[in-house]
Structure 1
Amino acid sequence: MDAIRGATAQLDRVSERVNHVVARSVVGKYFRLEGSGHPLERRGSKFTTELRAGVVTFTAMAYILSVNANTLSLSGGPCVCNNPDNFCRTDSEYQQCKNGVTRAYVVATAAASCLASGLMGLGANMPLGLAPGLGVNAYFALTIVGTAGTGLVSYGRGLAAVWLEGWIFFILSLFGVRQWLARSLPNSLRLSAGAGIGLYLALVGLGASGLGVVGVDMSTMVGLAGCPSQYQDPETGVCQSHVLQDPRVWVGIFLGGVLTALLLLYRVRGALIIGIILVSVSSWPRGSAVTQFPYTPEGDDNWNFFKKVATWKGLSPLGPGNIEWTGYNDGHVWLALISMLYIDLLDTTGTLYAMANKAGLTDYRTGDFEGSATAYMCDALSISCGSLLGCSPCTAFIESASGIAEGGRTGITALVVSFMFFLSLFFAPIFSSLPPWATGSVLVIVGSMMMASAAEINWYYMGDALPAFLTIAGIPFMYNIAYGLIAGIIGYILLNTIPWCLIKITRGYLTPPGWHTEREPLGSTLRSSVLIEPGREYTKWQLMVLRNSILPPWLKKLLTGNMRFWQMTPREVEDYLEGRRLNEKRQEMLEKKHAEELKRLRGVEDEEAVEPVNEDHESAYKLFAANMSPENPRGQSTAI
C-alpha cells in the first residue's frame, strides 16, 4: 500500500508541474486554463483534467461510428436500387454496394466528428464533442431520402439541403438571431431542457444502444428486456422470455455501473473511463458469455474487422461528388431543408445551453453563455462540412456531459475528442468495437447528474412548472430534444398568453393568484451584454444599437466605430466576471439551502430517535414488566 501511495503522490506531483507549465504558456492563456492569468480563466480547468475529460467524452460517444453508419446506410447512399418494391433485399449487387457504403460511413462519421469537434474546441473553446446527430440521421435516412432511396428526394438532393441548412444557420448565428432565439426561451424551459436531456441520456443508456435493460413491449410500449438473442422475436426484437438473463447486461450494470458509481463516490479521478475500459476489455475475448463477437456470420465479420486493429479505408463511394447542386429547384428539397432547420435549431439550442450550464459557463441574467456566437457558428460550419462527406447534420452530443462531469471546462477537451476521432480513421476496428453495454451505465450516471438543474425550476407557479414538466417528460418520451422543447414552448405560450388576455379584457379582475409574485417575469432573459463604456459619449443611434438585444457584440462594436470588434472590451470582461460571480453566489445559496434542508430533516430524525419517554410509553413499559415471568418470558399480555 505504501508503494502505491508513493507512486500516486509522485504522479500527482508530475501532473501539477505539467498543469503549471501548460497554464503559463500561450496554450493555457488561449484556452483560459486556471492559473493562466487570463481575466476570464475558467476555475478548476487543468490540462491533465482536460485530457482525461476528452477521452471520457470520446468513449461515451464512440458508438456513433457504427450506429450512424448503420443508420445512414439504410438509405443506400449513392447505390442505385432497381427494384424498390422490396427495397432491393434480393438485389445482390445493391446489397454489396450498400455494405461498402456502411464501411465508408464509419470513415465519414469519424472524419466529420473530427472536424466538427476540432472546430468547436479551437474556435469556441467549449468542452463539447460533435458528431452526426442521432434522430436527425434517422429522419434523413428514412424520411428525406428513404429506405433504398424511396423518400421525398434523392440522396444527392438531400445532401444539398443539409449543406444549405448549415450556411443558413451560420448567417443566423453571425448576426445574433440564433442567440436571440435561444435567449427568448423562458428560464424554466432552458433549465428543464437540461433535466429532460438527463432523462433522455438515461433512456439511451438503458435501451438497446446501451445496457439493453429496457426494450419494446407491444402492450405497454416499454418493458423489461435484456434477454439473450435466441429468445427475441426475430421481427420485432421483443423478449419472449428469459428477461434480464443476458449476462452482458449484468456485466454492464455491475462492472460499468456499480463500480463506476463507487469510484465516483470516493472521487476517484477517471472513474467514468475506468468502467468503460474494464467492460470493453472483458467483452472482447471470443467464446465467453459476454463477448462482443459471437460465433455468428455477423460476429465473424466483426471479429475479422477487429483483428485488423489498424486499417485505412477511403470515403469512396461517398464524398462531395454525390451532391446534386442543381436540386434547389425541387420544392421537396426546401421542405426537407425547413424541417431539418427547425429540428436542429431547437435540438442544438437545448443541448448547447444544457452543456454550458453544466460546465458553469452560463449567465442566468442574459440566458446566454460565454462564446455562444462562435459556438453556434462552429456548429453551423460543421453541418455544411459534414454534408460534403455524405453525412446528415452534425450537432453537439449530449454525451459531452460525461466529459464535463469528469472536469472538462475548455476547448482542450473537444480537441482531445477530435484527435481520438482522427485516430479512429486508422483504428476504426478498435474504436467501433466498444460494446454498447460498456457505455450504457455511464450514460445513466451522467443523466442523474444532469437532473440537478430541475431543482432551480420555479415549481411554485403552474404557468412555469407545467411547461417545464412537459419539456422534461417530452424529451425522453418522444425520443427527441426538439419535440420536447416544442411541447414546453406551446404549453408556456398557452398558460401565459391566455391569462394575460383575460387580465387585459377584464381590467385585472381575472388575474391568477401569484401572477405578479410567483411567476417568472416574461422576457427576463432577453437582456444582452452591456457594451457602453463609461466616460465615452454616444449618439442616440449608437445608444440604440448598443442596447439592442438581437445584435451580437461584434456587430454592435463595429457599428459604433470600434474597428477592433473581435476583441472583448474591459466592460465586456467585467460583465462576464460579474455574471460568473452572481452565478457562483446563486449556486452557493442553492447548496446552502439544500444543506439546511438536510440538516433540518436530520434534526427531526434525531428528535424522533431520542424522544423522551412520555406517560404512555412509561405505562406501556410497566405493563410489559408486570407481565414478564418465567412462564411468560416475552412479556405478552395476560389480560383477557
Structure 2
Amino acid sequence: MVELVHRVNAAVADSFVGRWFHLEGSGHPKERIGSRFLTEFRAGLTTWAAMAYIISVNASILSDSGGTCVCPAGDGCATDPDYALCVAEVRRDLITTTAAIAALASFLMGLLANLPVGMAPGLGLNAYFTYSVVGFHGTGIISYREALAAVFLEGWIFFFLSLLGLRQWLARIMPQSLVLSVGAGIGLFIAFIGLSSGGLGVVGGNTANFVGLGGCKPQYYVSDSLPGYCASHVLQSPTMWLGIFVGGIFTVFLMLYRVKGAILIGIFLTSIISWPRPTTVTYFPHDAAGDSAFDFFKQVVTFRPLRLIGDAIDFHYNKGRVWYALITFLYVDILDTTGTLYSMAKFAGLRDPVTLDFENSTIAYCVDAFSISMGALMGTSPVTAFIESATGISEGGKTGITAMFTGLAFFVSIFFAPIFASIPPWATGGALVIVGSLMIRNVRDINWDYYGDAIPAFLTLIIIPLTYNIAYGVIAGIISYTLINGIVALIRRVTNNRIVPPSYEDSEPWVIPPGSIVPLWM
C-alpha cells in the first residue's frame, strides 16, 4: 500500500498537474516542498469537514432576514405562520446556494490561485448582511434584494481594486492592532449570535436590562410578539441543554483530542437526536411548519433549485442607503477576507516576510471578488476565505489541489440539501460559540502596552457585538486611532519631539511595507 501511494504521488508530480500546482518532484522552480497529491486529497476533505457547518449555519443566519418573503404588517411577522413557512422555504434555498457557491469559489481558488484555501459565505459578513443591513425579517435599512445589489457591485469593485493592486496595498498599510481587533470582534459577535435565540437561546431579551438569561419554553415568553424574552423559568428549555452538552461541550472534547471534523460531528449528532418527532427536543413538531419541514427532510437526497432567492437582485443604486451598505461591505470585507488570506498564506509558508505579500495574491483576490458577485446572484452574502482552511494546511495541504477537493466535496453536498436544511439552530449554536472562541485569540497579538494602540483596538472589539454591527466597530476604531495618534504626532512635530508620551517607545510602528502600490504585472 505504501509503495502504491508513492507511485501515485510520483506519477502525478511528473505530469502537467504536478507542474501546474508546483508539487514536489515536478521540477518546477517554485515547487512546494512536502506537497504530495494524495496528501492534498486528504487535506481537502479535512478542510471540507471543518467548513461544512457553514452550509446550515449560513442558511440559518441569512434566513433571519426573511429573504424575498413579504411581511404585510411590516413588524417582522414573528408570529405569522404563513410568513414562517415562506422563511423556511428561503432557508432551504440558502442550503443549496451556500453549498454551490462554496464549491465554485473553493475550486476556482485552488485551480487559478494555487492556494490551499477554502471559500464560502463568511460568518460575520452574513451576520452584518442580515442584522445590520436587511434587519430581522426585513426590518433594516434596505430590502434583501437591494442588499444583494450592494454585494453584487461590491464584488466587481473588488475585482478592479485587486487588478490594480490597491486591495493588497490597503491591507498591508492598515495598523495591525485594528486588523486583529476586527477579527476578534467578529468572533465575539458570532459567539453572541450562537448564544442568543438564533442558536442555543442561553441569552435572551430583557425589557429592563436589554439582555438577560433566556432558555425558557415558549409558554413563558413575555408575549408572543417578543420571542426569546423570558418572563420566568429561564434555562429550562430541553433543546438549549441538548445544544450545550452535545453541540458544545462534546464537540470541544472532540477538538481536544484532534478528531477531524469535530464541529461537523457535534452538529450532526445534535441534529440526529432532534429528528425523531415524539420527543421534547424534536425539530419537527406536529404543526403546519413541522409537517412541511419533515416532508422535505424525508427526501434525503434531492436537487432543490432556487425558487425564492435565485436572481432576486433589485438594482436600486439611486438610493443612498444602498451605497451606505455597499461602502461598509467594501471595508469590512477588505479586513475579513484580506486578513484571512494573509494568515493562511503565512501558515502555509507562502508569504514573503519582507513585502508581506503572498504568491498569486492578485489572482486570489480576483477569484474572491468574482465569487462575491456570483454569490449575490444566488442570493447570499459576501464570500470569503475561511480560517478553517488551517485544518487542511495542518494536514499537509500546500497547493490548490487541497482547495479543489474541498470544492468538489461541497458540490456533492448540494444533493443532500434536505439533511442540511433539517439542522436545528440549537445544533449550530455551539459551533458558533466555538468558532467565535477561535477567532478571538487574535487579541493576544494586539499591542496592549500603548494606549494609542490598545484603546482603539478595544473600542473596535467591544462595539461590534454590543451594537450588532461590524461597521460601527470598525468606524469607532479608525476614528479613535486617527484622533489619538494624530494629535500625539502633531504635538511631537510642533514641540520638535520635546513632548512625547512616556510609553511612546512601546507604540506599534506604522510602516508601509516595501513594494509597489501596483502589482508586478503592471
Q: TM-score, normalised by structure 2?
A: 0.81
Match of 2:213 among 219, 224, 232: 224
Partner residue, 2:477: 488
Q: How does 1:490-509 map onto structure 2 within 5 Å? A: 490-509=479-498
CA distance in 2, matches of 1:467, 1:457: 11
Structure 1 residues 324 and 475, CA gap change in structure 2 (3 angstroms): closer
Q: How does 1:316-355 map onto structure 2 within 5 Å? A: 316=307, 318-320=309-311, 323=313, 334=323, 336-353=325-342
Q: Name stretches of at least 5 consecutive residues in structure 1 with no aligned partner.
A: 1-9, 529-547, 556-640
User: Are the counterparts in 1 of residues 106 and 406 from structure 2 also a CA contact under 8 Å?
Assistant: yes
User: Are the counterparts in 2 of residues 104 and 317 from structure 1 also a CA contact under 8 Å?
Assistant: yes
SS in 2 for 1:135: helix
CA distance in 2, matches of 1:367, 1:520: 17
CA distance in 2, matches of 1:388, 1:146: 20
1:55 partner letter: A
User: Are the counterparts in 1 of residues 284 and 291 from structure 2 also a CA contact under 8 Å?
Assistant: yes
2:102 partner letter: S
CA distance in 2, matches of 1:476, 1:336: 18
Partner residue, 1:522: 510
Structure 1 residues 15 and 137, CA gap change in structure 2 (3 angstroms): farther
CA distance in 1, matches of 2:34, 2:201: 38
Deviation at 1:331, TM superposition (A): 6.0
Partner residue, 2:43: 49
Partner residue, 1:277: 268
CA distance in 2, matches of 1:206, 1:90: 22
**1:535-558 superposed Cα distances (whole Å, 9 cap, x missing partner):** xxxxxxxxxxxxx2x111222xxx
Structure 1 residues 406 and 482, CA gap change in structure 2 (3 angstroms): farther
Q: How does 1:227-266 map onto structure 2 within 5 Å? A: 227-233=216-222, 234-236=224-226, 237-266=228-257
User: Are the counterparts in 2 of residues 54 and 412 from structure 1 also a CA contact under 8 Å?
Assistant: no
Structure 1 residues 313 and 128, CA gap change in structure 2 (3 angstroms): closer
Residues 305-314 or 382-391, more deviating: 382-391
CA distance in 2, matches of 1:259, 1:120: 33
CA distance in 1, matches of 2:103, 2:508: 41
Partner residue, 1:582: none
Structure 2 residue 499 is the aligned partner of structure 1 residue 552: no
Structure 1 residues 64 and 37, CA gap change in structure 2 (3 angstroms): farther
**1:103-160 superposed Cα distances (whole Å, 9 cap, x missing partner):** 54443444333323333333332423312741343268737x9949x965794x6554
CA distance in 2, matches of 1:102, 1:112: 15
CA distance in 2, matches of 1:443, 1:14: 42
Structure 2 residue 107 is the aligned partner of structure 1 residue 115: no
Q: How does 1:290-329 map onto structure 2 within 5 Å? A: 290-316=281-307, 318-320=309-311, 323=313
Residues 308-317 or 24-33, more deviating: 24-33
User: Are the counterparts in 1 of residues 375 and 382 from structure 2 also a CA contact under 8 Å?
Assistant: yes
Deviation at 1:307, TM superposition (A): 0.6
1:215 partner letter: G
CA distance in 2, matches of 1:225, 1:405: 38
User: Are the counterparts in 2 of residues 306 and 430 from structure 1 also a CA contact under 8 Å?
Assistant: yes
User: Are the counterparts in 2 of residues 58 and 129 from structure 1 also a CA contact under 8 Å?
Assistant: no
User: Are the counterparts in 2 of residues 190 and 353 from structure 1 also a CA contact under 8 Å?
Assistant: no
User: Are the counterparts in 2 of residues 127 and 412 from structure 1 also a CA contact under 8 Å?
Assistant: no
1:526 partner letter: P
Residues 442-451 or 376-385, more deviating: 442-451
1:231 partner letter: Y
Structure 1 residues 66 and 190, CA gap change in structure 2 (3 angstroms): closer
User: Are the counterparts in 2 of residues 186 and 522 from structure 1 also a CA contact under 8 Å?
Assistant: yes
Match of 2:127 among 135, 138, 152: 135
User: Are the counterparts in 2 of residues 196 and 476 from structure 1 also a CA contact under 8 Å?
Assistant: yes
CA distance in 2, matches of 1:68, 1:263: 28
Partner residue, 1:199: 188
Structure 2 residue 278 is the aligned partner of structure 1 residue 287: yes
User: Are the counterparts in 2 of residues 50 and 409 from structure 1 also a CA contact under 8 Å?
Assistant: no
Partner residue, 1:382: 371
Deviation at 1:249, TM superposition (A): 2.7
**1:459-502 superposed Cα distances (whole Å, 9 cap, x missing partner):** 22222222222233333333444433332222222221111100
2:130 partner letter: A
Q: TM-score, normalised by structure 1?
A: 0.68
Q: Provide the aligned length of Structure 1 versus Structure 2.
A: 512
Partner residue, 1:64: 58
Structure 1 residues 384 and 272, CA gap change in structure 2 (3 angstroms): closer
Structure 1 residues 467 and 360, CA gap change in structure 2 (3 angstroms): farther
User: Are the counterparts in 1 of residues 456 and 476 from structure 2 also a CA contact under 8 Å?
Assistant: yes
2:453 partner letter: D
Structure 2 residue 151 is the aligned partner of structure 1 residue 184: no
CA distance in 2, matches of 1:154, 1:205: 22
User: Are the counterparts in 1 of residues 251 and 266 from structure 2 also a CA contact under 8 Å?
Assistant: yes
2:508 partner letter: E
User: Are the counterparts in 2 of residues 344 and 482 from structure 1 also a CA contact under 8 Å?
Assistant: no
CA distance in 2, matches of 1:269, 1:63: 19
SS in 1 for 2:430: helix
Q: How does 1:318-467 map onto structure 2 within 5 Å? A: 318-320=309-311, 323=313, 334=323, 336-353=325-342, 362=351, 365-396=354-385, 411-412=400-401, 414-467=403-456
User: Are the counterparts in 1 of residues 121 and 380 from structure 2 also a CA contact under 8 Å?
Assistant: no
1:135 partner letter: A
Superposition CA RMSD, Å? 4.0
Partner residue, 1:267: 258
SS in 1 for 2:384: strand
CA distance in 2, matches of 1:435, 1:99: 12
Higher RCO (C-alpha under 8 Å, 6+ residues apart): 2
Partner residue, 1:578: none
Deviation at 1:504, TM superposition (A): 1.0
2:483 partner letter: L
**1:368-414 superposed Cα distances (whole Å, 9 cap, x missing partner):** 44443223211211122223334444334566667677776654554
CA distance in 1, matches of 2:379, 2:198: 23
